[in-house]
């Protein structure tokens, strides 16, 4: 009895300080993209490459993050959350400093892959630590706080990245990102305890994870909702990967102005996710998803019409992309809820499958915006529309198959 009481006393709790620390390290992935985006033109100029080649640095990061989704959780189940997070964030920082010093675009691409692989630990293990330390109700509240803090990352990251890019180009931006990664490592060492005791650990079982993924691949509604989630994200990543070139090269704005415009879109993303969640409780998650995705595709279609009539201006770009970002957020949150609702007996595999498909589609979609050069928004907007139309069709397929099961 005394030992049980001592164990309980030594068990970490979800204090506000711990949640703040988890929210900070959870920003690793978003900061690695958003803080870096304003330096795209600088990177293109220094190496004399096309916009599509520069966007491969983002593609490489997303491919690494996709691989990290399958690796991080399995390793932490065997070695513990804190140790895995510490090592991953330290390597994430090392890769960041190295990428700021290299002399070729190929080396930057390779090191961005490494950043994605190790940076995936931030958000993945932040969620896992909350789940370890709380029951279902407490975990839901804790994760919502962590996710809300992670949503602040793009709002802060892009203006900071713009200032760094303006002062010292892409090298200073990547060095700044590596410095933040170092701070994340220190915060992990000082403020994040181990949440998975040795008696709850088990050997890594990649085979079991892959078996669960194969089972989910045969679940038609899950496939539909997961595909909808992935292509909604793909549409968003096309916008993210192209926005720096469009705003700075096409509209002639400065990196700081671009950062402020992107921050407005990021704020709209956060508000869209919150609004969609409230709407889902009133009319259902399926209708809420359709409304959000239709709003996003409508904004993209208006952008296309303005491009084709040569009337698109920076003043119109900002509100339309804010509507687009809000719709994307609602579509992603709703499709996540619908997909994971199908994985009650394999939640870990379902989450890994969502993340894997998300980053694979994102990696393939990233170069689309730069296919016709960096002085037009047409390929980016066409890609945004195409991704959302696929997402709508996939969600409809998933809903049809689920309704058919229930009949």
- Both tokens of 215, joined, read 């089972």
Residue 23's pLDDT is: 85
Residue 263's pLDDT is: 83
Residue 351's pLDDT is: 67
Residue 391's pLDDT is: 97
Residue 142's pLDDT is: 63
Residue 211's pLDDT is: 75
Q: Do domains 10-203 and 205-407 have the same CATH topology?
A: yes
Structural domain spans, the chain: 10-203, 205-407
Residue 348's pLDDT is: 54
Task: For domain 10-203, give its CATH number from 1.20.1250.20, 3.90.110.10, 2.40.50.320, 1.10.10.350.
Answer: 1.20.1250.20
Residue 5's pLDDT is: 46
Contacts of 234 (CB under 8 A, 6+ apart): 361, 362, 364, 365, 387
CATH topology of domain 205-407: Growth Hormone; Chain: A; (1.20.1250)
222-251 pLDDT per residue, tens: 999 999 989 998 999 899 888 888 998 889
- Both tokens of 110, joined, read 């390779």
pLDDT tens by residue, the chain, 407 residues: 444 444 444 567 778 888 889 889 988 887 888 788 888 888 988 999 888 888 889 889 988 988 887 788 778 877 888 999 999 999 999 999 999 999 899 999 999 999 999 998 887 788 778 767 866 446 545 655 666 677 677 677 778 888 898 888 899 999 999 999 999 999 999 999 988 888 777 676 777 667 777 888 888 999 999 999 899 989 998 998 888 889 988 898 888 888 888 888 888 888 888 788 778 878 888 898 999 999 999 999 999 999 999 999 999 999 999 999 999 988 888 887 788 677 655 555 666 777 788 888 887 887 787 676 667 889 999 999 999 999 999 999 999 998 888 76
Compute φ and ψ for 52, nearest 5 degrees: -65, -40
Contacts of 350 (CB under 8 A, 6+ apart): 212, 216, 222, 339, 340, 342, 343
* 116-to-29, 342, 364, 369, 402 alpha-carbon distances in Å: 7, 28, 15, 21, 34
- Both tokens of 58, joined, read 């983002």
Q: CA–CA separation, 194 vs 92, rounded Å? A: 20
* 380-to-6, 199, 358 alpha-carbon distances in Å: 58, 50, 18
Q: What is the CA radius of gyration of the chain?
A: 21
Residue 285's pLDDT is: 84
Q: CA–CA separation, 197 vs 280, rounded Å? A: 37
């Amino acid at each position: 009895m005394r030992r049980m009481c001592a164990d309980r006393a030594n068990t970490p709790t979800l204090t506000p300080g711990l949640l703040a620390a988890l929210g900070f390290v959870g920003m690793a992935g978003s900061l690695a993209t958003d803080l870096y985006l304003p330096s795209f033109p600088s990177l293109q100029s220094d190496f004399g490459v096309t916009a599509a080649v520069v966007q491969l640095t983002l593609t490489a990061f997303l491919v690494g993050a996709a691989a990290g989704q399958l690796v991080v959780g399995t390793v932490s189940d065997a070695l513990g959350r804190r140790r895995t997070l510490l090592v991953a964030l330290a390597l994430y920082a090392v890769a960041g400093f190295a990428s700021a010093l290299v002399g070729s675009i190929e080396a930057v691409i390779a090191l961005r892959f490494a950043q994605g692989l190790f940076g995936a630990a931030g958000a993945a293990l932040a969620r896992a630590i909350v789940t370890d330390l709380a029951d279902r109700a407490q975990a839901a509240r804790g994760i919502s706080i962590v996710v809300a803090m992670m949503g602040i990352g793009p709002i802060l990251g892009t203006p900071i990245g713009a200032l760094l890019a303006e002062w010292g180009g892409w090298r200073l931006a990547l060095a700044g990102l590596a410095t933040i990664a170092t701070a994340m490592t220190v915060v992990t060492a000082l403020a994040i305890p181990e949440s998975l005791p040795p008696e709850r650990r088990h050997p890594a079982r990649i085979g079991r994870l892959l078996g669960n993924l194969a089972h989910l691949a045969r679940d038609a509604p899950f496939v539909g909702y997961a595909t909808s989630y992935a292509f909604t994200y793909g549409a968003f990543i096309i916008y993210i990967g192209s926005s720096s070139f469009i705003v700075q090269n096409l509209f002639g704005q400065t990196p700081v102005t671009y950062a402020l415009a992107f921050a407005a879109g990021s704020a709209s993303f956060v508000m869209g996710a919150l609004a969609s969640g409230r709407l889902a409780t009133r009319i259902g998650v399926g209708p809420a998803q359709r409304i959000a995705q239709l709003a996003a595709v409508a904004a993209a279609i208006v952008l296309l019409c303005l491009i084709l009539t040569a009337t698109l201006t920076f003043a119109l770009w900002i509100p339309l992309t804010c509507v687009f970002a809000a719709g994307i957020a609602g579509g992603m949150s709703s499709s996540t809820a619908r997909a994971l609702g199908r994985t009650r007996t394999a939640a870990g595999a379902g989450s890994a499958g969502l993340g894997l498909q998300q980053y694979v589609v994102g990696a393939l979609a990233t170069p689309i915006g730069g296919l016709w050069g960096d002085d037009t928004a047409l390929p980016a907007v066409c890609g945004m529309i195409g991704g959302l139309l696929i997402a709508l069709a996939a969600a409809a397929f998933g809903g049809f198959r689920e309704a058919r099961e229930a009949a």
